[in-house]
Structure 1
Amino acid sequence: MSWLYSFTLTEGILSGLFALLYLAYMARVISTAKKLKVGYSNVFIKLLIRTVYFILIIVAILGPSFGESKREVKSVGKDIFMLVDLSESMNAADIQPTRLEKIKFELKNIVKAFNSDRMGIIIFSSESFMQSPLTYDQNALNLFIETLNTRLVPNAGTDFGPPLKMALEKLNAEESPLTQQKSKVIILISDGEDFGEQTEDVTQDIESQGIKLFTLGIGTERGSKIRVRGGFKRDRQGNEVITKLDSKSLRKLASETDGQYFEINETNNDVSRLISTINKIEGELRDTRQVDVSANRYYYFLLAALFLILLDVLASVKVIKI
């Protein structure tokens, strides 16, 4: 037999109060019986009944489990790569507090929403780097998310090709337990135009393999200055650079891969819709296991206690024989 809960201070206090109060009650009955010079042996019958159902109630509270049985446990899930743009424009503050800080907050919500799926993070600007391989470890993912900043990658423009290619290679790696491409997802997060030349070829591979690609744009049409050390970023002519959300490339990517485009701007946040859309994708069965389980049988003890309580109430026993 195993127990759902352990015997704690609460149960100890209840047991102590029961024993103390009942001892005081018995002492009073016995003292009265002796003064009247009558028998009092029936008090022990009541003591036995009440002690038994009190113990049964305590046992029921602790949740006794017994009766071994086999249960099939299925592990179903998806593999999801999040591709995060870390170009300098992600420091713009048209989305408060900045585009990047907002994305970091939303990435944690995405990780929380897919706690039974493997997730990974790839960071990029003109080049791509693996920040976190596919993992179930949410704490590790949140730690990697918290450390994201634009200094982690070289800033020489935005190229969607390298991160998409890296994600495709990792999703198709031999060690992946998934064989169904429909259970593999890529989320590309950016605020700018794609200046790469390899994106179209990688996009065709993603589309032909049936891997779902979703894009998430962040920023506003009015745009914002880019804060850097010592002020704001300037172009070669000395003018302050204004960065605006350019959703054209992101929309095109989503359209060409039969995916969907989502956006975070000053009035709209599509992250919940993104999560809902990915949740609708059918996961793949990873493995099936047989586990030993035991059921909580507290109700047996509770029913027995209720029966004894009813018997105690209805049965009339003379505690003092006169």
Structure 2
Amino acid sequence: MITKINECFTFLYAQEPSNYLRTNSMGLQWYQDIGIVEYILIATFLVATTFYILRIRRIAHALNTHYRWVFFKLPLRIIYFALLIIALLGPSFGFGKKSIAVVGKDIFIAVDLSLSMKATDIPPSRLEKIKYELSNIINTLKSDRIGLVIFSSSAFMHCPLTYDKGALNLFTQILNTNLMPIGNAGTDFYAPLELVLKKYQEANKSNRKQQNEYAKVVVLFSDGEEFGDRYTAIVDQYKQNNIRVFTVGVGSLQGGKIPTSLGFKKDKKGKVVLSKLSTTSLQTIAEQTNGRFFEVSETKNEIPELINTIQEIKGQKLDVRNIDVSSNKYAYFAWAALALLFLDVLITVKVISL
């Protein structure tokens, strides 16, 4: 019985809490606040105790004798019941150091900021849709380091690898095509792939002991309208370095107009340009790097599948952190309550004197 009760408490506190420990002004911390379960237990104890006393009283009156000894063990029972309630709440006090291995992946997300990303075939626009989905990705991949790269015909680091989801969301919200220098027209996949590869190689050189000790992933968002095939020269290096590229095609096959300050973008003949989703290059990059192609359109959204695929990749040790932890002392209260419970069983009292 003792073993089962102890296993019950151990299982309860082995679960990851949904919130941080509650702390009062004295520094005592609680695993959880008193809740419906504790209130039910307290009510049950009070009702059962009251019913027991009233029953003994009725019997004593029927036998014309006293029943004062019924109160002899009442304080003892109140004490061990209170100790059990305290144990359930998980009191914690005292601090110690604990080493925590941070397991996850390093993920660079490259976002196409060429003018075609302003197309409105996916309302309100391709870029706004990407920004919305990026927030979902960032907030879901909590244990992974994420960095942002922006590109068109050239590429720039928008946000370095970080665990700070707040900063990542902030950098995501300010994404717009005006971030790219004037003259950066069109899309070149070689630029972001080269920049990300360079960053991974720099990380390996700065810490050779941890080289290849982390999973490396690239997520590339674009409408696929790539001019040229320079990216083929760098894809082999991705395979050699075991860096998987997941490409996300954003747009529609029917295409959409590109808004400008003067209306819509036109070609040299004065015709309105219709930007269409092109999947060929995106699929090629994904296939050759052991990645996968996903699509986001007005009728299809494969971002949840992308998130699941990334989560299935086995994360590896990124860092080891020493943190201050408060020790849960529930066991002391639970064992004290059990000791008093057995004492209650061992002590016999004649509650009715004849």
Q: Conserved in 2, the CA contact under 8 Å of 1:190 and 1:218?
A: yes
**1:97 aligns with one of 124, 134, 139:** 124
Tell me what 1:250 maps to.
282
1:244 CA drift (Å): 0.5
- Letter of the aligned partner of 1:162 in structure 2? A
Q: Conserved in 1, the CA contact under 8 Å of 2:255 and 2:277?
A: yes
For residues 228-276 of structure 1, what are the alpha-carbon distances to aligned partners after superposition, in whole Å with 9 as ceiling and x for unaligned?
2242222233222111101111122223333221111232222222222
- Letter of the aligned partner of 1:63 in structure 2? G
Tell me what 1:171 maps to.
200
Distance 1:45 1:170, change over 3 A: same
C-alpha distance in structure 2 between counterparts of 1:206 and 1:267, whole Å: 32
Tell me what 1:226 maps to.
258
**1:162 aligns with one of 182, 191, 214:** 191
Tell me what 1:35 maps to.
none
Q: Conserved in 2, the CA contact under 8 Å of 1:71 and 1:293?
A: no
Superposition CA RMSD, Å: 4.3
The DSSP-based 3-state class of the residue aligned with 2:137 is helix
C-alpha distance in structure 1 between counterparts of 2:266 and 2:171, whole Å: 30
- Letter of the aligned partner of 1:190 in structure 2? S
Distance 1:90 1:181, change over 3 A: farther
For residues 161-204 of structure 1, what are the alpha-carbon distances to aligned partners after superposition, in whole Å with 9 as ceiling and x for unaligned?
11111111111114468522871111111003222564222223
Tell me what 2:270 maps to.
238
The DSSP-based 3-state class of the residue aligned with 2:170 is helix
In the superposition, the TM-score normalised over structure 1's length comes to 0.76
**1:206 aligns with one of 228, 238, 254:** 238
**1:217 aligns with one of 240, 249, 253:** 249
Q: Which moved more, 1:195-204 or 1:247-256?
A: 195-204
Tell me what 1:27 maps to.
none
What are the residue-to-residue correspondences of 1:302-321 with 2, within 5 Å?
303=338, 318=351
Q: Conserved in 2, the CA contact under 8 Å of 1:185 and 1:212?
A: yes
Tell me what 2:59 maps to.
none
Percent identical residues: 44
C-alpha distance in structure 2 between counterparts of 1:286 and 1:44, whole Å: 61
**2:83 aligns with one of 40, 56, 73:** 56
What are the residue-to-residue correspondences of 1:127-146 with 2, within 5 Å?
127-146=154-173
Q: Conserved in 2, the CA contact under 8 Å of 1:73 and 1:290?
A: yes
Q: Which moved more, 1:125-134 or 1:207-216?
A: 207-216
C-alpha distance in structure 2 between counterparts of 1:89 and 1:60, whole Å: 61
Tell me what 1:34 maps to.
none
Tell me what 1:152 maps to.
179
Distance 1:62 1:40, change over 3 A: same
1:4 equivalent to 2:30? Answer yes
Distance 1:88 1:2, change over 3 A: same
Tell me what 1:270 maps to.
302
**1:117 aligns with one of 109, 134, 144:** 144
Q: Conserved in 2, the CA contact under 8 Å of 1:254 and 1:261?
A: yes
1:53 CA drift (Å): 3.5
1:218 CA drift (Å): 0.7
Q: Conserved in 2, the CA contact under 8 Å of 1:59 and 1:301?
A: no
1:277 CA drift (Å): 2.3
- Letter of the aligned partner of 1:264 in structure 2? V
The count of aligned residue pairs is: 309
Q: Conserved in 2, the CA contact under 8 Å of 1:53 and 1:308?
A: no
- Letter of the aligned partner of 1:300 in structure 2? W
Q: Extract unaligned runs of 5+ from structure 2.
A: 1-26, 50-64
- Letter of the aligned partner of 1:108 in structure 2? S
C-alpha distance in structure 2 between counterparts of 1:288 and 1:81, whole Å: 21
The DSSP-based 3-state class of the residue aligned with 2:300 is coil
Q: Extract unaligned runs of 5+ from structure 1.
A: 23-37
For residues 19-64 of structure 1, what are the alpha-carbon distances to aligned partners after superposition, in whole Å with 9 as ceiling and x for unaligned?
9xx9xxxxxxxxxxxxxxx999757635523542353244224323
C-alpha distance in structure 1 between counterparts of 2:35 and 2:144, whole Å: 39
C-alpha distance in structure 2 between counterparts of 1:137 and 1:316, whole Å: 63
C-alpha distance in structure 2 between counterparts of 1:53 and 1:180, whole Å: 54
C-alpha distance in structure 2 between counterparts of 1:7 and 1:82, whole Å: 40
Tell me what 2:58 maps to.
none
Q: Conserved in 2, the CA contact under 8 Å of 1:192 and 1:245?
A: yes
- Letter of the aligned partner of 2:215 in structure 1? S
Distance 1:228 1:289, change over 3 A: closer
- Letter of the aligned partner of 2:132 in structure 1? F
C-alpha distance in structure 2 between counterparts of 1:98 and 1:146, whole Å: 14
Q: Conserved in 1, the CA contact under 8 Å of 2:214 and 2:317?
A: no
C-alpha distance in structure 1 between counterparts of 2:138 and 2:207, whole Å: 19
Q: Which moved more, 1:240-249 or 1:55-64?
A: 55-64
